[in-house]
Structure 1
Amino acid sequence: MVRWFWQRDKAPKRTLALRSRGDLGDATRVDFAELAPELDTFLGQAAYLQLGYFETLTRLIRGTLELSEKEALSRAAGAALTKHREIVEIIRSRGDDPTQVMLPFREQLDAFRRKTIGVRPRETLLAVYITAGMLDDFYRAVASSYGDVGARVVEILSADDETHEIVEIIQATITSDEEWRSLLSMWARRLVGDTILVARAALRPGPLAIDDEKRVEPVFTELMGAHARRMDAMGLAA
């Protein structure tokens, strides 16, 4: 029987802190009882998400004709695979089987990834950049709940993801054709909704109580602020 984020025994109060790629200043800290999942759940999801980014990027590489773009995508894919492998090593160091730890979340996360694959390669490329950025931010925040192991995960997720060239590709695309700017802006807005649902599912199923919403609001405010800065850097409207 699969145990999802919220299906666990009552846990002590934990702390959620969000720090997005070093550009948010002091992290907002939110005390939220029973917020973070169990450690093996967190590690399994974090590892499988990175594997998913790698898979999507490698598919884009196969469909790309321009050699310079293939090289840019290969570097981003390599960075995602490195993160995956390093989280897998943490799982192994705890005496667990990485495949068994990741397997319960494969179906749910594959479904999310399918929803974020666009009709056109540029949409899919933007999807990887947007969803990986937002969820890396969120998982770094959740990682603050796990002491030294969490600190190591923060270090892994904060490493260079080699996506600056993806930004350049998107910028060149929207500069060449103004219709792309409108299309990708609308696509990004759809991506945000699906990605926030994944993050909120880590908190608890269903609507939060009013007091809980107030306590967790600063986290999502910072999450959206970091997203807006990424969009601005590409020349897209958030």
Structure 2
Amino acid sequence: MSDPTPPGHAVTDLLGLVALGELLAFDRIAADARLAPDLRRRAALSEMAAAEIVNYRRVADRLTALGVLPDDAMAAYVIPLQAYHDSTEPRDWAEAVTKAYVGDAITDDFLREIAVALEEPDRQLVLDVLHESRYAEFAAAEIRLAIEADPRVADRLSMWARRLVGEALSQAGRVAAADHGALTALIAASGQVEVAELFRRLTAAHTARMAAAGLNN
């Protein structure tokens, strides 16, 4: 049985959300790179920022090809996504890499789940712009190094990660309201009718990710 085809506006709405996420991630990671303790780490985070802006351009170009202005597709999501970043400004390098590790991964997990509802080339485009595993591995390694240097950091970063998840879920509600049901339509079209089950899987992946970095869920 073929996957249900989601409404066209749902596809462009999702791409607008992805595009804005990439654009804001570029801003955030480029700024966070200045918190790096040395040039090697600063360069690593700067490379991550460069990848985000390349991904933004790919999604923006696709929106244009679909006859939608990227600015229009992104507009509804500006307030909730900017609010998330404004409320989760990292204070130091350890918090910056934890935000990259936790926040970006949850977003990637969600997009990976609902991308199956898209037809090509949009499905592959969304999958292509997910963060590369080497960036997650870099961030996890930095978190473990910080904990090794000072075991007390684990509690602080665990609390920070929980705050990141709480803020992300809070703003996700505002995103859902802003998109007038587009993401709900995609979740249904992907076969993930049981939204509660979807979030259980996302939570399980998050818990495993925390443990891998030496953090307490």
Q: Tell me, yes or no, whether TM beats 0.5.
A: yes
Shift of 1:187: 0.8
Q: 1:72 Cα deviation (Å)?
A: 1.6
Q: How does 1:48-197 map to 2 (within 5 A)?
A: 48-158=20-130, 160=132, 162-163=134-135, 164-197=137-170
Per-residue deviation, 1:81? 2.2
1:216 to 180, 195, 204: 195
TM-fit CA distance, 1:64: 2.7
Query: Larger helix proportion, structure 1 or 2?
Result: 2
Deviation at 1:44, TM superposition (A): 0.9
Q: Which residue of 1 aligns with 2:204?
A: 225
- Please state whether the residue corresponding to 2:76 is helix, strand or coil: helix
On the 8 A contact 1:47/1:84 being kept in 2, the answer is yes
Cα shift at 1:73: 0.8
Normalising by structure 2, report the TM-score: 0.80
Aligned to 1:4: none
The TM-score, its normalising length taken from structure 1, stands at 0.74
**By how many angstroms is 1:202 displaced?**
5.2
What residue ranges of structure 2 are gaps of 5+ in the alignment?
Answer: 179-187
Q: Give the distance between the partners of 1:204 and 1:63, measured in 2 at CA.
A: 34
Question: Structure 1 residue 159: deviation in Å?
Answer: 5.5
CA distance in 2, matches of 1:89, 1:130: 28
Offset, 1:110? 0.5
Give the total of aligned pairs.
201
Q: Summarize the Cα distance change of 1:236–1:219 in structure 2 as closer, same or farther, 3 Å threshold.
A: same
Identical amino acids, percent of aligned pairs? 26
CA contact (8 A) 2:140 2:213 kept: yes
| SS state at 1:147 partner | coil
Does structure 2 retain, via aligned residues, the 8 Å contact 1:87–1:153? Answer: yes
Paired with 1:182 and 1:104, the residues of 2 have a C-alpha distance of 36
The two structures, once aligned, show a CA RMSD in angstroms of 2.8
